[in-house]
Structure 1
Amino acid sequence: MDSGTQSKLDEIASLKEVTFSYSPDQRTILNGLNMSFKRGQVTAVMGGSGCGKTTVLRLLGGQVVANTGKVLFDGDDIGSLTHQGLVRVRRKMGMLFQFGALFTDLSVFENVAFPLREHTRLDEAMIQDLVMMKLNAVGLRNARDLMPSEISGGMSRRVALARAIALDPPLIMFDEPFAGLDPIALGVTAHLIRDMNDALGATSIVVTHDVPETFEIADYVYFIAGGKIAAQGTPQELMRSNDLFVRQFIDAQPDGPVPFHYPGLAIDQDFGVTNISQSDGSIR
């Protein structure tokens, strides 16, 4: 088997020269993007707010279609699938939405049971056992009868993870799984993502901007900026990087390739004076 064939077998999903904007008169969000997601790995997609991280997940799930290029998943071209084809493909994807997105009128148990009831013909006893197994895996078996309003944000995220893996999907996507969590809940969620990925033999795509937790669990990281891949590599490689954008992001520097000042008129033009530096707004 040649290396090219082996690479395709190791790749569960990819974006090939993908360009995307929500409408012709809006800015281009992704511009010639290339990404590869390897089977069995946790891959992080990072970048500033509004850079297109979540759009990558929407493209993979078929919620939106690329303007140009291809989005591939497990041998299927997502952009060319019919509605039935999308339904078939989405059964092989699990999704943890921002802040969990639990059904507020369903108990913890029923939230996790929902995909099993919707997409299988399993009897109630089997559903009961599967839900209890998933909840036990995230440490919430004894919270099964609680309502979403009765559990914490961190617990909600764990319930959402149990729901995302209910059908044992080969691909699990996480949209900002660490947002709004306290340090303990954040650590628990991060390690559960890694542990569940390895236990299921799944592939995980984590969209986030939280550097320490992500670098601890990810096998590979993509940074998006300006609609393109600004940097990529293992966490160890990126920590050693001298790339200015990578350093600004990792070190949380307020100014750099992503400027502190919104682009536009120089400050001396706005104030009608000539003794103010145009570069940083300081007085000479």
Structure 2
Amino acid sequence: MEFVATAAERDAPLVSLRDVRFAYGERPVLRGIDLSVHRGQVVAIMGGSGCGKTTLLRLIGGQLKASAGTVEVDGRDVGGLGRAELYAMRRRMGMLFQFGALFTDMSVFDNVAFPLREHTDLPPSMISDLVLMKLQAVGLRGAASLRPGELSGGMARRVALARAVALDPMLILYDEPFAGLDPISLGIIGQLIRRLNDALGASSVMVTHDVHESLEIVDYIYFVSEGRIVAQGTPGEIRASADPFVHQFVNAEADGPVPFHYPAPSIGSLLGAGAA
């Protein structure tokens, strides 16, 4: 008998975090995170350095386990999966690492072919066709024989994106996909993220600092500060927001809810003590 998903199951979030907490030793990083990613969405997670954004990606991918709360992907508790079940779920995820993380001793073709060779029993001819299709999608079929050292930063990121979607994942995770890119490459990567997500019918979670590019391509944004969600909304809601944190972050202001100065005694009192 063929399984048919109910309307509720189809409408359920693909990724759901509920009251998620995490600490590195005694240092708390996440202090009760709630967020959802629905099917077909591109969702951005933003916030200052060290606020826990990449930790969230690692929890979703199962590299880390939450100290408390639940992390669900496709209705399954990631923290409760066994080794074999977790690896099976990861095969349905793609990951674009910061700066690409290509294998430097492999050609562009072999980098994209790697997950297909590792996780499928497809014949070489079919793998070749799939690799060329993925490279065509990112505009680099002509670079198949090159090594990563022969690519520009933007080209390397596009190869890494082709590798991330090689297995047609249901979920794609991006860790700072725009870092270090020139404006043209940044725009190209942004549009590819949106187009590939829509073409695959996938969902995407993107950790990024690039506010303006993200507002052009994402469906929803979460802002994280001190381990909590402090603001959220659609691009339109974020642009119109009067929230002080959002205003400071979007406009790159030095001072606001996130202070410029690290906590310290008044310099006036220190200078006075020195003069005395």
The amino acid of 1:271's aligned partner reads: L
- Look up the match of 1:101: 101
Q: Deviations for 1:153-179, whole angstroms, at most 9, x for unmatched residues?
A: 000000000000000001001000000
Cα distance, 1:75 vs structure 2: 1.5
Q: Does 1:68 align with 2:83?
A: no
Cα distance, 1:248 vs structure 2: 0.2
- Look up the match of 1:16: 18
- Look up the match of 1:282: none
Which consecutive residues of structure 1, in runs of 5 or more, have no partner in the other structure?
A: 275-284
- Look up the match of 1:248: 248
| In structure 1, distance between residues paired with 2:114 and 2:250 | 38
- Look up the match of 1:280: none
Q: Deviations for 1:80-133, whole angstroms, at most 9, x for unmatched residues?
A: 111111101101100000000000111000000000000000000000000000
- Look up the match of 2:137: 137
| In structure 2, distance between residues paired with 1:174 and 1:269 | 46
Q: Deviations for 1:199-257, whole angstroms, at most 9, x for unmatched residues?
A: 11110111001011000000000000111101000011011111100000001101111
Q: Does 1:149 align with 2:149?
A: yes
| In structure 2, distance between residues paired with 1:270 and 1:120 | 66
- Give the alignment's Cα RMSD to 1 decimal: 1.5
The amino acid of 2:97's aligned partner reads: F
| In structure 1, distance between residues paired with 2:94 and 2:113 | 14
Cα distance, 1:6 vs structure 2: 3.0
Following superposition, which runs of at least 4 residues in structure 1 exceed 4 angstroms of deviation? none
Cα distance, 1:266 vs structure 2: 1.4
Cα distance, 1:9 vs structure 2: 3.2
Cα distance, 1:272 vs structure 2: 2.5
Matches within 5 A, 1:178-257: 178-257=178-257
Which consecutive residues of structure 2, in runs of 5 or more, have no partner in the other structure?
A: 1-6
Cα distance, 1:8 vs structure 2: 7.0
Q: What secondary structure does 1:29 align onto?
A: strand
| In structure 1, distance between residues paired with 2:171 and 2:226 | 27
| In structure 1, distance between residues paired with 2:9 and 2:142 | 43
| In structure 2, distance between residues paired with 1:104 and 1:270 | 52
- Look up the match of 2:4: none
| In structure 2, distance between residues paired with 1:241 and 1:159 | 36
Cα distance, 1:273 vs structure 2: 5.6
- Look up the match of 2:121: 121
- Look up the match of 2:8: 6
Q: TM-score, normalised by structure 1?
A: 0.92
The amino acid of 2:115's aligned partner reads: P
| In structure 1, distance between residues paired with 2:42 and 2:255 | 30
